[in-house]
Chains A and B, each alone.
Chain A
């Protein structure tokens, strides 16, 4: 007779990192951190199974505050690095965390192509519509007219729409959350991690120091959960229409999901049939392989 020792299930607390966040008190990023910790605990994941990859910016400090394997990489490059991680070891759960400047500005090219490839990543963008770590300049998601240190007379550039961009580029799970609604964030994040493809969640994460326009109050007055609207996430046209609304009503929730498209690693022939990750296969090639190669050279 064997006695099964069951370890105590992990809780959100077990995913607390080695140091406390250095974010400003009241920063929206706290809520996303908390929601992510709750999500992975509820999914029964262990810290060693997760890699959290970030770029640079306030929100990109996330991996240091989250107990899992982490990579705090270069500004804008988190998705490229994360693609390397996931494709080299598809058994890992890979989260990517960062901000709007990191993801939609300097990293915009990787955003497009990661979506197109449908890499199985969960991308959490803490969108505060401002450059915070550099003390308050306009961002690619800042509203027209917004006054910042680099646009003292008001922003004249129209903002990117992360939701329609993600859908149009091929992301297969696209949601929007708000730091003021942790419950919804947990639902979105759990769905994103379980989704076998590129999942993007754009999170309204107010910057309490540098963005006086897009505050908690601004969003509280406007957010409308799609769950209450009877929206069908398989309907991309409806998703895009709702994502284009930005006035007294701004939708949050799951805009779009397509489970039919296979992820990149599922399509990769060398990983067919449950092959082990390339990170863990023996390096050496066989004599037969060598002989075949050399024969073709003769």
Chain B
């Protein structure tokens, strides 16, 4: 099966060298041609200096990961050349400023495309000239007419004025012409699909999912890699009528969210693991007071401050155990940006129905990745179901008991301001009227009643939330199990294995808690060899799966170096497991590209 055009461009340099601008220009050029994009930015927690490598994979078909290869390396400094030239195979390109960067040892067949930047631009001072000249080279190598790049540059720089546009176009043209005279373009030029695509990051998708779901109160404390959600919300708040607040700490964030949600506003907040740890007591308070709030935890490598710019699936147990006590919560781990967008609206309907908190586990890979999306898929009018919410006086003079013990455990929820429904919600245990049974009036019978009432609310959960299903080959010799963000890369690994004749299928789990234990047990009952793939050291999901189903996997593929899986990491692991070549049952792939 032809995979069609599939090409990865990596742009490397130091922070502050302007990697984002050529990245954005290329991304726009690709999605306007209807090509799919999956970009991963490997970076460091530094504002100036260090090393950044932005890998942009452009594909005729959907790109589910940032891929395995670098087909074109744009070196903005010597460090990038030194680190990554060796990763280029025959036919790949290295584009660099020959005035100050020298290539080293390289494989045969690599196109070394050095640009005499000062000679081309006549400008020895402008440090960004090499970036723009390189865009000219890349456009030529990809087989594009110069006009395509010219219009992209115009769009990018038009806000800065005509002079900036024309000087950038001139530099890019010099690069394009130099490349035409000196370098060999791709045999198969960049194709074009009929319909242009849009581009977003995972954090954009999470924020837009919230906006579509009717979030009217968003609060946060900045924390990588979740801050993009705050930025999107802040930028769009006025147009959409969303109250956005930056708060003094995540304890304040979570409690403020609880207060806002209690008034009837759909409320969301996002953070990363450390901030989430601070939020946890308030998550329990939302459960006890029965207030629906959506908490997003964008996981990064931990523990503690960990590696703020690197990815990990290390917070599963933190989410499962967030806050003291024994209470009902929803935990969901979206599989990609597109899925994250839709999941938020779904989760809001669930928390409104069940009057409980939900935790959405994203990670750096999803949240800070940049992806194409078909614009028609961005449906911002999902069904909005508020459950048993009372926001206006219904003429009912009472009596009103906030926590009345109904058949389904869900009590009508009046918000402050409604006449005839005055009540107190409390983090102390309380009875149906909301009167505390924690201090003076402790009562084991009432306590049991309230615990059971809250638990019963989720009884019909499994009728509303889809169970995961095995996808791929029937009679597979190996079944790959993953959760959250690994779904896409597992699928691409499967394609590689299938191309080699390996029969393989996958089970990608998204809805974590409550867990579809029966459905998962059934789905895995026929598996001949089960391998679990996780972006963590200890196999958090495996332990959870075992606790919920009793299933013990036959082997594991785990990565915990901060970088996400590439498809071949998983494929290699599966081959090693099938060959019986994995000691200790855990295959840990080597990360070849070091940032």
Contacts and interface: CB of A to CB of B under 8 A. Distances in A.
Q: Which of B239, B247, B380, B422 has the most CB of A within 10 A?
A: B422
Interface string A249-271: 00000000000000000001110
A85 B415 CA distance: 10
Contact of B440 (A22, A270, A283, A294): A22
B380 A74 contact: no
A281 B378 contact: no
Interface residues of A, number: 60
Interface of B is mostly: mixed
B422 A53 contact: no
B424 A284 contact: no
A51 B422 CA distance: 9
Contacts of A18: 433, 435
Interface stretch (A76-84, A142-150, A156-164, A230-238): A76-84
A38 to B, nearest CB: 19
Nearest to B376: A294
Interface string B287-323: 0010000000000000000000000000000000000
A92 B435 contact: no
Contact of B196 (A48, A292, A298): A298
B237 A270 contact: yes
Nearest to B384: A283
B70 interface: no
A85 B259 contact: yes
B424 A64 contact: yes
Contacts of B375: 294, 297-298
A110 B381 contact: no
Interface in A49-66: 49, 51-53, 56, 61, 63-64
B32 interface: yes
B383 to A, nearest CB: 10
Contact of B422 (A69, A77, A110, A292): A69
A84 B256 contact: yes
B427 interface: yes
Given A64-B426, A113-B252, A283 B259 contact: no
B252 A278 contact: no
Interface in B481-519: none
B264 A84 contact: no
A73 B208 contact: no
Contacts of B391: 279-280
A176 interface: no
Given A61-B439, A72-B436, A280-B264, A109 B208 contact: no
B339 interface: no
B425 A84 contact: no
Interface in B227-271: 236-243, 245, 247-249, 251-252, 255-267
A279 B264 contact: yes
A45 interface: no
A61 to B, nearest CB: 7
A92 B416 contact: yes
Nearest to A80: B255
A84 B257 contact: yes
Interface in B383-424: 384, 386, 391, 415-424
B214 interface: yes
Contacts of B386: 283
A266 B243 CA distance: 13
B31 interface: yes
Interface string B438-452: 011100000000000
A2 interface: no
B420 to A, nearest CB: 7
B435 A64 contact: yes
A292 B236 CA distance: 11
Nearest to B284: A74
Interface string A171-214: 00000000000000000000000000000000000000000000
A277 interface: yes
A298 B212 CA distance: 18
Contacts of B93: none
Given A48-B416, A278-B243, A279-B265, A293 B427 contact: no
B260 A85 contact: yes
A187 B488 CA distance: 65
Interface in A67-105: 67-74, 77, 80-85, 87-89, 91-92
Contacts of B237: 270
A87 B241 contact: no
Contact of B380 (A49, A85, A277, A293): A293
Interface in A20-67: 22, 46-49, 51-53, 56, 61, 63-64, 67
Contact of A71 (B211, B262, B436): B262
B263 A110 contact: no
A298 B31 contact: yes
Given A84-B259, A285-B214, 6 more contacts: A56-B427, A68-B422, A88-B260, A270-B243, A284-B384, A297-B375
